[in-house]
Amino acid sequence: MYRKIERETLTVEETGVLLGIGRNQAYEAIKNGSIPSIRFGRRIVVPRAQLTQMLRSAVEDNDDKDPASLE
């Protein structure tokens, strides 16, 4: 039987969909370093593990803030 292989990377478009942002915003976030990426020639991919870690860190940082300071 064949096992489905889970890819370790996402395309920029897939990353945008996952984050709820547009393709151009995803490319801009990669360009400014907000989203981790790897370049293979002209192709850019986003490492799934690094993206997940980045999102978890962002959530933890927000959880540590005083709710009154978010208003």
Name the domain count of the chain.
1
For residue 21, the domain's CATH number is 3.90.105
Residue 43 belongs to some domain of the structure: yes
pLDDT in tens, 15-66: 999 999 999 999 999 999 999 999 999 999 999 999 999 999 988 877 777 6
Residue 3 belongs to some domain of the structure: no
pLDDT at 51: 96
Residue 68 belongs to some domain of the structure: no
Residue 2 belongs to some domain of the structure: no
Average confidence (pLDDT) over 5-16: 95
**Domain residues for 24?**
9-63
pTM for the model stands at 0.76
Grade residue 71 by pLDDT with cuts at 50, 70 and 90.
Answer: low
Residue 1 belongs to some domain of the structure: no
Cα torsion 57, 58, 59, 64 to 10°: value is 90
pLDDT at 4: 83
Separation of CA 8 from chain center: 12
Strand arrangement of the beta sheet that strand 38-40 belongs to: 9-11, 43-47, 38-40
pLDDT at 15: 97
